[in-house]
Structure 1
């Protein structure tokens, strides 16, 4: 009898620890939602632009990751749809000083960019500032 109760207790602990581990390794988002990705064509031209945009997006609510591919000028943002929208993220790109798809950059933010990051400076021989 003692062996049976010990076996039951061990089985209970094993099942409890597995369910706790499963909950930690696969967190459920509110309403079963997952992350989504959106891409924007930007006016970014160099590695300084990349650092500036990725850092700026990291502060936006709901953003999980942001990556700018400098050669294609495409910014890929992974975000939680219950926290933000593609329109809000596009506006955040504009507020940083860059175009986002068909929307032009905020003029004041654009004017604060270093000269190498401005789209009028189309010849960039050194993208590692």
Structure 2
């Protein structure tokens, strides 16, 4: 009987703690300013299953932690593209891009120059 209880407890522990629910990923996302940062991170967090999203203005790197059972990288990238920001593999539709604030138009070389330090 003791062996059976031990086996059940071990099996429960394996099932409960053996699965890695959270995946980490890094995505390149275009943008130029802190308003872009807020928009990109907010779009990610609104995606079901995303637990953390941090976008670096200088490196354009978006680091996400998400539950693989609820979402995937394609869904996260689609959320970012929907708010007007390009990723390395997806380009935002012109309508979404043109809805950005004028200081956020990262495809414009003048805007890029304005945001350089």
Band the TM-score falls in, shorter-chain normalisation: 0.7 to 0.9
What is the distance in 1 between the residues matched to 2:93 and 2:70?
Answer: 23
- 1:42 pairs, out of 29, 39, 64, with 29
- 1:86 to 2:73 alignment: yes
**Segments of 4+ in structure 1 off by > 3 A?**
none
Maintained 8 Å contact 2:21/2:67: yes
TM-score (norm 2): 0.76
Maintained 8 Å contact 1:96/1:106: no
- 1:74 to 2:64 alignment: no
Find the counterpart in structure 1 of residue 9 from structure 2: none
Query: How many residues align structurally?
Result: 100
Find the counterpart in structure 2 of residue 123 from structure 1: 113
What is the distance in 2 between the residues matched to 1:33 and 1:51?
Answer: 28
Maintained 8 Å contact 2:82/2:96: yes
- The alignment's C-alpha RMSD in Å is 2.2
Q: Name the SS for the 2:63 alignment partner.
A: strand
TM-score (norm 1): 0.70
- 1:52 pairs, out of 17, 20, 39, with 39
Structure 2 residue runs without a partner (length 5+)? 1-15
Structure 1 residue runs without a partner (length 5+)? 1-27
Bigger-Rg structure (1/2) = 1
